[in-house]
Structure 1
């Protein structure tokens, strides 16, 4: 099972549209995750139409239209792994302990908000993944997204993809 993870797309605030490379990967993903801060419903509609399965939440920059359609926390079991998606997990210091306490029933938590990629494992075994932002790199050298696979009940091939700079 192939996974595609993104967050903090902020269309049209930070970019007019999603990067072409990211859109080209959609048909190849069995499941697409979006960890919030869409800003517009058109991007949600686009991903819902082009994705085989979309698991998504709203973020702090998402208004009533998106909040009416998306949960604050989403959960799904995929290939024997328990996934969760949430936008914000708080400051980096103490993140592992906070998330392990808040989500003791998950194997993988996809989150966003910071625009900074993150990949760690808590003492309890919870894998924390932040794909960064595909449209707003902030202090990072590149905009980014993540891909991964689920095989035999394990998360494999977790890869951070840098995107080319927009012109």
Structure 2
């Protein structure tokens, strides 16, 4: 069984110690990490030493990050292809836009809306982990997702970040 940590919308200017602790806790048993954009700064990726990280830029990323990371990409894990794109514009129709952009994938990971969700449209699993930094409306907690790939397919679970001492 393969576990992939998924986060988005960290909106941090650098890799803070709190972020490192939260990431270590959330993704302790993961073999890879996907960041679906709005890292803001590339230094965020330093929180994942020794693990493969697949990231895209988002609309709030600085120039260095936008130049270094693609707008969207696909990654193959076992027999599944995962498309990654931050997303843009209105929440209305974002799923249709992503399905048109990434038509041959088994799963699409995206961010932008800061609203965690998972759903299937046809055979495609769509996963938005929400905002890892908890920048949702009215003090919403930070959230992330874990993708699990096993003999029965690919699935996702959304989790809230726990309060750390």
Q: Above 0.5 in TM-score?
A: yes
The number of residue pairs the alignment matches comes to: 162
Q: In the superposition, relative to structure 1, how do residues 63 and 89 fare at CA in structure 2: closer, same or farther (>3 Å)?
A: closer
1:132 is aligned to 130
2:59 alignment partner in structure 1: 60
Deviation at 1:165, TM superposition (A): 5.5
The aligned counterpart of 2:161 is 163
TM-score normalised to the size of structure 2? 0.85
Q: Which runs of 5+ in 2 are unaligned?
A: none
Deviation for aligned residue 1:153: 6.4
**CA separation of 1:74/1:24 partners in 2, compared to 1, >3 Å: closer, same or farther?**
same
CA distance in 1, matches of 2:80, 2:152: 6
RMSD of the alignment, in Å? 2.4
Structure 1 residue ranges without an equivalent (≥5)? none
Where do residues 92-111 of structure 1 align in structure 2 (5 Å cutoff)?
A: 92-111=91-110
Runs of 4+ in 1 over 4 A off after TM superposition: none
Q: Distance in 1 between matches of 2:152 and 2:65?
A: 32
Name the TM-score, length of structure 1 as normaliser: 0.84
The answer as to 2:7 corresponding to 1:6 is yes
